[in-house]
Chains A and B, each alone.
Chain A
Amino acid sequence: MPAKHLGLVVIGFIMLYPVLWMIVSSLRPGDEIFRNPGLILDSLQTENYTEGWNALNPSFGTYLLNSTILVLGCIIGNLVSCSMAAYAFARLNFSGKRWWFGIMLGTIMLPVHVIIVPQYVLFSQAGWVNTFLPLIVPKILATDAFFVFLMVQFIRGLPRELDEAARIDGCGHPRIFAQIVLPLMKPALATTTIFTFIWTWNDFFTQLIYLTDPEMYTVPVALRSFVDSTVATSWGSQFAMSVVSLVPIFLAFLIGQRYLVKGIATTGGK
C-alpha cells in the first residue's frame, strides 16, 4: 500500500472501530463485551436482539413505526413549505422581500432554546403534548429555514429562460412553480429529504420534551429510556437496539451520499 494511503486507512479504521465493535459485540453473549475488544465473532448470538426488542412495553417495533411516521411528516412538510417559500424568494419580486429574506436568514442562527418554552406552553395548552403535531406542524410552516436557504440558492442557479417563456405563454405562478421549477429542483429536494430524514431520526431534545407517553416514544427517546431502566450488565441488548436504531441512518447515507456531500459543499461554500 502506498505511504499516502497508509495513514488515512489507519485513521479511518480507528474512527470506525468503535462502531464495528459495537455491531460485533451485539452479536456476542452479554459478558464478552467486558473482556473481548476484538472484532472476530466465534458464534452468532441473536438473543441480545430479541431481549432488547421486547425489553420495554410496547416493543421496539412501535418506536420504529413512530419515528417513521414522524420522519415522513417532517419530510413532506419541509418539501412543500420550504420549496414554496424558496420560489417566492428566488423568483418573485414583491415589496418587503429583502426584509423578509434577512429575517429568514436570521432564524437559521436562532437557538431553539429561545423559543422552546413558549412553544411548549402553546402546544400543551392546545393539548398537543404526546402527539407528533408539535414536531410536524412547524415543518409544514417552513420553520426549517436552512432548507429554504438551500433551495433559494439552488433555484437562483436555474436558467430563467424556461419560466420566462412559460410566463409569456400565459402560465401563472402556481403552474410555473409546479411544472417547471419543481421538476428542475429534484437534487435540492433530494438533499432536503435526506437531511430531514437523518436530523429528525436523530433529534432527541424536542422529542424528549414532547413525547412522554411510552406509546408515543420515538427511537431515540425509547433507547434512552431503555438505557435508564436497565442495569449496566445488559450492554448487549443496549448495543443491539443501538445498532437497530442506526441502520436507517446508515441506509440513508448509502442511498443519498451524493446529495449529502453536495448539499454540505454548496451551502458551506457560499
Chain B
Amino acid sequence: MSENSGTAVLDPPVDDRPAAAPVRRKRKRHKHNLAGYAFLTPWLIGLFAFTLIPMVYSLYLSLTKFNLLTAPQWIGIENYTRLFSDPRYLQSIKVTLLYVVTSVPLKLAAALLVAVALNRGLKALGFYRATFYLPSLLGASVAVSVMWRQIFSRDGLVNQFLGLFGVQGADWIGDPRFALWTLVLLSGWQFGTPMLIFLAGLKQLPQDLYEAAAIDGAGRFTVFFKITLPLLSPMVFFNLVLETINAFQTFTPAYVISNGLGGPIDSTLLYTLYLYLKGFGSMQMGYASAMAWVLFAVIGLFTAIYFWSARKWVNYAD
C-alpha cells in the first residue's frame, strides 16, 4: 500500500525534463503527513480512547478484584488461577467448545452444499440467493431467538409436527441433553453469509478444468472433491476463520433461550454469557476481564492453528 514511503528522497532527479517537472514530481511524491493524520484523527482518537487504552486497562483489571464501587484491589494472577477451579467456568468452556466444533462445520457444510447447488446457471438465482440469505440477517435478532424458544418448547412447532405422526417429542429447550443442539441448529440455519462468499468464489473458478473433467467422464462427486473443493479452499479457510471467531462470541440466542441463565443445568452456558453474568450480573469485573483475555487467547490460538495448517490444505495455486 505505501510502496513509495521513504524512498522518495533516494530517487535520482530526472534531468531530461522541463524545469517545472522535478518540482511537480517532488510534490507528487511528497508525504502528506498533515493531511494524512488530519483525515485519520477521528479513527486515531477512537483507537486510543476506545480500544488501546481500554485493552491495557482491561489487562490491569484482570489482575485485580474490582466491583465498580470501590477502587480495584491488586491480587496478581489470582483471577486466572481461580478460573480453572471454577466448575461453572469449566462447564462454560466445555459447552462453548462443543458449540464451536459442531456449529461451524454444520454451517459451512450447508453453505457449501447450497452454493454448489445454486451455481448451475439457474434462472431464479437471485430469488434463491435472497431466500437462503435472509435467515442470516434475521438470525442475530432477539426476535428470532424468541421464535426458536417457542418452536423447540414442549408444545412448540416441532413437537406439533411430530405429533401429527404420533411421535411425542422431547422438551428440547428444557432438557439439558438437547438444549445446546437447538442453538447449534439456529447457527446452522444462518448459513447465508458464508454461502454468498462461496457463491462469489464459485463464479470465478476456471471453466476449462470442468470441461476437461467432463471429457474424462469424471462423476459429480469426483469433480466436487478433486476440482471444486481444492480450488475453493481459500474461501473455506476464510469462512472457517470468520465463523469460528463469531461462534466463540455467540451471546444473544443463549441469553434469550435460557432466560439469561445458561440453563437447564448450565447446558447452554456459552462463554460470553458466563462472562456477562460475572461482569455485569454479579459485578466481578476483574474476574470478567480475566475471562475476556482467556477468550482472546483461545480465539488467537484457534486462528493460529488454522493459519499453521493452511499450508497443508489451502490451495493458493493462482
| A contact set with B: CB distance below 8 Å | 4-5, 7-8, 11-12, 15-16, 18-19, 21-22, 33-37, 80-82, 84-85, 87-89, 92-95, 97-98, 100-101, 103-104, 107, 109-122, 124, 138, 140-143, 148, 164, 167-168, 172-173, 177, 198-199, 201-202, 204-205, 208-209, 219-220, 223-224, 227-228, 232, 235, 238-239, 241-243, 245-246, 249-250, 252-253, 257, 260-261, 264-266, 268-269
Given the contacts A107-B47, A265-B197, A260 and B133 also touching, CB distance less than 8 Å: yes
Residues from 121 to 175 in B contacting A, C-beta threshold 8 Å: 122, 124, 128-135, 137-138, 140-144, 146-151, 153, 155, 157, 160-161, 164
Chain B residues with Cβ below 8 Å from A118 are 53-55, 57-58, 61, 289
* A252 and B137 alpha carbons, distance in the complex (Å): 10
**What's the A-B contact tally at a CB cutoff of 8 Å?**
283
Give 8 A-B contacts (CB < 8 Å), ordered by A residue: A21-B157, A94-B31, A109-B245, A113-B275, A199-B140, A201-B141, A202-B142, A268-B238
Task: Indicate if the CB atoms of B40 and A88 lie closer than 8 Å.
Answer: yes
Chain B residues with Cβ below 8 Å from A202 are 140-142, 252
* A198 and B137 alpha carbons, distance in the complex (Å): 7
User: Which residue of chain A is the closest to B49 with respect to CB atoms?
Assistant: A141
Which of the residues A111, A219, A264 comes within 8 Å of B292, measured between beta carbons? A111
Taken residue by residue from 171 to 197, chain B's Cβ proximity to chain A (1 for < 8 Å, 0 otherwise) reads as 000000000000000000100010011
Task: Indicate if the CB atoms of A227 and B299 lie closer than 8 Å.
Answer: no
User: Which residue of chain A is the closest to B234 with respect to CB atoms?
Assistant: A269
B43 in the interface (beta carbon within 8 A): yes
Chain B residues with Cβ below 8 Å from A85 are 39-40, 42-43
Chain A residues with Cβ below 8 Å from B272 are 113, 205
User: Which residue of chain A is the closest to B29 with respect to CB atoms?
Assistant: A93
Chain B residues with Cβ below 8 Å from A227 are 146, 149, 256
Task: Indicate if the CB atoms of A140 and B42 lie closer than 8 Å.
Answer: yes
User: Which residue of chain B is the closest to A152 with respect to CB atoms?
Assistant: B1
* A235 and B50 alpha carbons, distance in the complex (Å): 40
Given the contacts A198-B137, A202-B141, A104 and B292 also touching, CB distance less than 8 Å: no
5 nearest A-B pairs in the assembled complex, by CB-CB distance? A141-B46, A94-B36, A268-B197, A242-B143, A265-B200
Chain A residues with Cβ below 8 Å from B235 are 268-269
* Size bracket of the B interface: 35 or more
* A91 and B53 alpha carbons, distance in the complex (Å): 28
User: Which residue of chain B is the closest to A227 with respect to CB atoms?
Assistant: B146
Residues from 258 to 301 in B contacting A, C-beta threshold 8 Å: 259-260, 272, 275-276, 279-280, 285, 288-289, 291-293, 295-296, 299
Which of the residues A4, A142, A264 comes within 8 Å of B46, measured between beta carbons? A142
B10 in the interface (beta carbon within 8 A): no
Chain B residues with Cβ below 8 Å from A143 are 46-47, 50-51
Task: Indicate if the CB atoms of A84 and B36 lie closer than 8 Å.
Answer: no
Min CB gap B19→A, angstroms: 17
B207 in the interface (beta carbon within 8 A): no
Task: Indicate if the CB atoms of A268 and B54 lie closer than 8 Å.
Answer: no
Task: Indicate if the CB atoms of A204 and B147 lie closer than 8 Å.
Answer: no
Chain A residues with Cβ below 8 Å from B299 are 109, 111
Chain B residues with Cβ below 8 Å from A173 are 32, 35, 38-39
B4 in the interface (beta carbon within 8 A): yes
B251 in the interface (beta carbon within 8 A): yes
Task: Indicate if the CB atoms of A95 and B279 lie closer than 8 Å.
Answer: no
Task: Indicate if the CB atoms of A100 and B54 lie closer than 8 Å.
Answer: no
Min CB gap B246→A, angstroms: 10
Task: Indicate if the CB atoms of A117 and B43 lie closer than 8 Å.
Answer: no
